[in-house]
């Protein structure tokens, strides 16, 4: 059997930090309120496009694997905040890194996009369609955020990470996954303003209004991630005691705690980044995985569980067997340009522009598919 081993990894985090104290300057909130409900203290705001972050992360991952971009057969770009719809964003990464022979795919399942992309790339390697793949999880949510909605403005941040997969005869990479979607709850998380439903309705691109049913999302997220985690462990014949590390979607510290405890796994086996980065949607799992490697938490041969959920409500859990190498073969000199404004200044700019173009009439009153 052919496996798709993870041989390279790299992250790219925007330098501008938005703290809870910054948020309290324009929202009715506080550091204590945010931390007690989410576990978050800060998040990042990007001054560059998602593609630019993805290019830096991709170059770092390729250097880590010792792979030339010209040898990449496949790029899968997981995100729900693509820079462009046509042409697809993966092709922009392909052009920028010189992956001239790669097939390039965008994949959107919201916060689970990286893990669904990992499944897609793994499947293509297993079936011989590709031998070397680059899988990216990236999100630039700040331009789409409703910064005056406290329920969502405190939660999300920007970021990116990527991994390289290579065909291998040795067992490694994704051993199994459980994918699903709780579509009867899709209306609990909706970003109004993103998509063709809002075209020609007086809605300016970037003007959004978020539907976010926090209690229902919490319940469904915990339920879905626990069931997916239990299912993939059963499928692969392993128990919670066999898991060396859990790298979950970092949506909320209370959700993570509930998922791992109900899955029978202690919190000291969990990699957390939620305090420093918040919820980066598709980027949370790959960024946390890259940091786990940086901090020495991934050991050779480790068995890693990666559970996640996203809008839709998509759910999944992946079981990954790590290889023998836990350090990069080489380093890339790719860097983002410096940010000229602070995170708070960038957010205030976005708020000012949105205030001039707000169109609640165009954002509401639509006939969504679940109402038909």
Active site residue ranges:
111, 249, 279
- CA 31 to each of CA 36, 40, 273: distance values in angstroms, whole numbers, following the listed order: 8, 9, 17
Of the candidates 48, 357, 364, 47, the residue with the CA atom closest to the CA atom of residue 207: 357
3-class DSSP state for residue 40? coil
The token pair at 145 is 């955020």
Of the candidates 267, 288, 268, the residue with the CA atom closest to the CA atom of residue 277: 288
In order, the DSSP letters of 266-283 are -GGGB---HHHH-B-GGG
Whose structure tokens read 């052919």? 2
- CA 5 to each of CA 122, 233, 242, 364: distance values in angstroms, whole numbers, following the listed order: 9, 19, 20, 46
3-class DSSP state for residue 141? coil
C-alpha of 129 from chain center: 25
Q: Which letter does DSSP use for residue 240 in this model?
A: G
In order, the DSSP letters of 59-112 are HHHHHHHT--GGG--EEEEE-SS-S-SSS-HHHHHHHHHT-TT-EEEEE-BTBT
Beta-carbon count within 10 A of 131 CB:
17
Give Cβ neighbours of residue 314 (< 8 Å, ≥ 6 apart).
109, 110, 111, 112, 116, 179, 180, 181
Whether the bond between 87 and the residue before it is cis, its omega within 30 degrees of 0, is: yes
3-class DSSP state for residue 235? helix
Q: Which letter does DSSP use for residue 369 in this model?
A: G
């Amino acid at each position: 059997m052919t496996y798709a081993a993870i041989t390279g990894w790299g992250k790219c985090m925007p330098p501008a930090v938005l703290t809870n104290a910054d948020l309290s300057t324009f929202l009715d909130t506080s550091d204590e309120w945010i931390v007690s409900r989410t576990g978050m203290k800060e998040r990042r705001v990007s001054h560059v496009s998602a593609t630019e972050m993805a290019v830096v992360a991709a170059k770092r991952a390729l250097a880590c694997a010792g792979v030339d971009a010209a040898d990449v057969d496949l790029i899968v770009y997981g995100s729900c905040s693509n820079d462009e719809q046509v042409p697809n964003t993966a092709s922009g990464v392909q052009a920028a890194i010189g992956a001239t022979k790669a097939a390039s795919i965008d994949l959107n399942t919201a916060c689970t996009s990286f893990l669904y992309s990992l499944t897609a790339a793994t499947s293509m390697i297993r079936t011989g369609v590709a031998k070397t793949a680059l899988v990216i999880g990236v999100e630039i949510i700040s331009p789409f955020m409703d910064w005056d909605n406290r329920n969502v403005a405190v939660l999300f941040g920007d970021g990116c990470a990527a991994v390289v997969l290579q065909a291998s005869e040795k067992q490694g990479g994704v051993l199994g996954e459980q994918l699903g979607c709780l579509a009867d709850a899709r209306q609990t998380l909706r970003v109004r303003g993103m998509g063709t439903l809002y075209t020609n309705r007086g809605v300016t691109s970037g003007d959004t209004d978020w539907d976010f049913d926090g209690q229902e999302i919490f319940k469904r997220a915990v339920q879905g991630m626990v069931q997916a985690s239990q299912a993939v462990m059963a499928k692969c014949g392993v128990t919670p005691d066999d898991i060396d590390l859990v790298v979950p979607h970092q949506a909320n510290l209370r959700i993570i705690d509930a998922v791992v405890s109900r899955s029978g796994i202690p919190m000291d086996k969990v990699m957390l980044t939620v305090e420093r980065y918040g919820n980066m949607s598709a980027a949370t799992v790959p960024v946390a995985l890259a940091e786990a490697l940086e901090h020495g938490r991934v050991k050779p041969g480790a068995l890693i569980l990666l559970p996640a959920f996203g809008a839709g409500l998509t759910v999944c859990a992946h079981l990954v067997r790590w290889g023998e190498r836990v350090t990069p073969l080489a380093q890339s000199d790719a860097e983002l340009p410096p940010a000229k404004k602070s995170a708070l200044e960038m957010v205030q700019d976005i708020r000012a522009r949105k205030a001039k173009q707000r169109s609640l009439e165009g954002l509401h009153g639509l006939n969504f598919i679940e109402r038909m």
